[in-house]
Amino acid sequence: MKLFDKHDITRDACMLKGKLARKGYDWWWHSFTGVDEETGEEKAFFIEFFVCNPELAESVPVLGQLPENQFAGKKPSYLMVKAGCWGKNARQLHRFFSWNDISVSDGVPFSIIADDCYASENKLCGSVKVTDEEAASHPEWMCDAGEMTWELKLDKKIPFNVGYGAGDIMRALNAFEMYWHAEGMKTLYSGTVTFNGKRYTVTPETSYGYADKNWGGDFTSPWIWLSSNCMESRITGKKLENSVFDIGGGKPKVFGISLNRILLGAFYYEGREFEFNFSKFWTRPKTLFRCFETDKEIVWHIQQSNQKYVMRTCIHCPKDEMLFVNYEAPDGSKQHNRLWNGGTGVGRIKLFEKKGGSLELIDDISVSHVGCEYGEFC
């Protein structure tokens, strides 16, 4: 029986309807690795299409961090195309469009188009350019300086359908403050990226790609995300070609009430599904996690379990290869000011089966190219 490996592109549709149209955000996130055509060096990239508050649209993008908009009580309304890279000299670049200048499909399959920027289930193209002068004189843009163009195809292989169960009911009731769907927690990317004059080739076998979306009325704190499909068994020495893990969450709110610190997790291990989902209470899920900073790294220690299995995940990522990813909430506030975001994490996962009151090791796995986030309101 499938637990979470259930594709559902209806969840990738734009969700900004009803009350979310005037106080809501929706985003489509993509991350992957490319190879420098000259040097052969790897580079981890991300591209995101973030939309908020269509009912508050004006003829120009309404930026919530702009002082005159704050003074006038205006809430943000725009499409923000976010693109950038991780590693040394990590950068995030932002390009804003008014809702009057974009086209968003009303239903499935989803698509967004604004000038040369386009996103759909199987294609991404676009460009962002921010000069040093613009970045310095427009802090409300919340971004760095640089230039990036991309032309990519996507093949979403393995999903993490987090709401397949009781979560579907909660989604129908619009109960949660923040929703998550990973239509492509393992996604094969192909194409090219040009970043600050350097051209990168992206191939399916070495893209280590990921694609998901979030939507809602506000963000969670703490905010945690980990995912990778670049894995190798420490027991057999074999690369796990048909595996991917995904962990996310923090402290969700249901009908405005904060739940305890809990996470959603999935491990697709060579065709076998292991899920740790708090909305499926009948599986007796439990989560313990600790995330912290050292002088040089961000570290995640997570243990998840259900009535049959235990997964222990330890990931670390160099701080000098990460960035503080920037968002403003639909109400115009910006509470996440230290939201660490990276794509070059490494670590280890141990997967166990519960047997006779003890734990039997299924596999001990090394992971790399880990997408990772951690932050709390400050």
Q: What are the C-alpha distances in Å from 150 to residues 12, 174, 247?
A: 21, 35, 27
Domains of the chain: 9-375 (2.40.370.10)
| Contacts (Cβ under 8 Å, ≥6 apart) of 172 | none
223-228/230-233 β-pairing: unpaired
Q: State residue 163's pLDDT score.
A: 74
Pure H helices in 73-137: 132-137
The DSSP string of 345-370 is: EEEEEEEEEEETTEEEEEEEEEEEEE
pLDDT band per the 50, 70, 90 thresholds, residue 375: very high
Q: How far apart are CA 251 and CA 264, in angstroms?
A: 11
What CA–CA distances, in Å, run from 109 to 8, 106, 119, 121, 215?
10, 9, 11, 7, 17
What percentage of the chain carries pLDDT values higher than 90? 89
Q: How far apart are CA 4 and CA 349, in angstroms?
A: 19
**Of the candidates 226, 223, 222, which has an alpha carbon nearest to the alpha carbon of residue 246?**
226
Q: What pTM did the predictor assign? A: 0.96
Residue 165: per-residue pLDDT: 46
What is the pLDDT, as a whole number, of residue 166? 44
Question: Other CB atoms closer than 10 Å to residue 332's CB: what's the count?
Answer: 19
**Mean pLDDT rounded to a whole number for the chain:** 94
**Do residues 354 and 85 make contact, with C-beta atoms less than 8 angstroms apart?**
no
